[in-house]
Amino acid sequence: MACRVAVLGASGYTGVELVRLLSAHPEINLVQVTSRQYAGRKVAEVFPSLS
């Protein structure tokens, strides 16, 4: 059973790396990513390398 995970503050270096690692993990379901700096934008739009 996959763990549901949210990342708060995903626009900084640590947040982006955490999203990258979690999105590749087979037991993790990344359900929410937030950032005040990029509010309303899709992750793939802000960080194309993560799409």
Instruction: Summarize the confidence of residues 42-49 as an average pLDDT.
Output: 88
pLDDT number for residue 47: 86
Domain region containing 26? 3-50
Per-residue confidence band for 31, with pLDDT thresholds at 50, 70 and 90 = very high
> What is the number of alpha carbons within 13 Å of residue 49 lying toward its C-beta?
5
pTM, full prediction: 0.81
pLDDT of residue 11 exceeding 90, the answer is no
44 within 8 A of 51, measured Cβ to Cβ: yes
Q: What are 24's two structure tokens?
A: 């590749």
Instruction: Summarize the confidence of residues 36-49 as an average pLDDT.
Output: 89
